[in-house]
Amino acid sequence: MQFAQLSDQVVIDEAPAGPIDVSAFPGTWVNSNPGTTGVARLQMTEANGILSLQVFAIGQDALTDWGQENVLVFMASPTSRVGAGFTCVFDFGFAETRLQGMIMKGLLVLAQFHTFKDDSRRAGYFMREYFALDHQRF
């Protein structure tokens, strides 16, 4: 088994792997920072094992709906089947945004990589924001 780091080298059961548990993700995730100029909230949904993400960002007068994209789910280890994070890409034509999400202690940490493709000469930028699941339990 090839590896780039020792943690890649694991024993995999020959039995078919079960489905990936993505139950930690679905719902509405709200930015912990009410003063954000970035992403306001995330809507994550699961259908037939496919997890998708809709982003609502802060606009000038109202929220901007980025639309919906499927995400690639990541586990905490090569032997785990429990989703712990995701990546996805939104292409806006004039810009591209890559997202990397990680769930840590109930908090979704979202790293954002924004690259401009237009002629505005704006620098690409990075943001990291925190989101709480609106669980309506308390």
Partner 1 sequence: MIDTLAFKQLSDLNSALTPSGDPQLSGEKLLGRWVNTNRQTQGIAECIITQDGEHVNLRILGVGTGAPVEWPSVRARILANLEEEAGQRTVALAADFEFDFMKIETHLRVNRGVLVIVIFNTFTDGSGRSNYLNREFFYRMD
Instruction: Assess 20 for contact with partner 1 (CB under 8 A).
Output: yes
Instruction: Assess 134 for contact with partner 1 (CB under 8 A).
Output: no
What character string, x for contact with partner 1 (CB under 8 A) and - otherwise, covers 69-98?
Answer: ---xxxxxxxxxx--xx-x--x-x-xx-xx
Looking at the Cβ atoms of 129 and 138, the one nearer to partner 1 is 129
Stretch of 22-30, 41-49, 122-130 lying at the interface with partner 1 (CB under 8 A): 122-130
Instruction: Assess 38 for contact with partner 1 (CB under 8 A).
Output: yes
DSSP-assigned states of every residue in 55-99: EEEE-SSSEEEEEEEE-EEEESSTT--BEEEEEEEEE-SSEEEEE
Out of 2, 22, 25, 69, which residue is the one contacting partner 1 (CB under 8 A)?
2
How far apart, in whole angstroms, are the C-alpha atoms of residue 74 and residue 127? 20
Instruction: Assess 30 for contact with partner 1 (CB under 8 A).
Output: no
β 39-47/63-70 pair status:
unpaired
- Angular region, 137: left φ>0, alpha ψ -120 to 50, beta rest: alpha
Q: Are 20 and 81 in contact (CB under 8 A)?
A: yes
Contact residues toward partner 1 (CB under 8 A) are 1-10, 12, 17, 20, 37-39, 57-60, 64, 66, 72-81, 84-85, 87, 90, 92, 94-95, 97-98, 100, 102, 111, 113-116, 118, 120-128
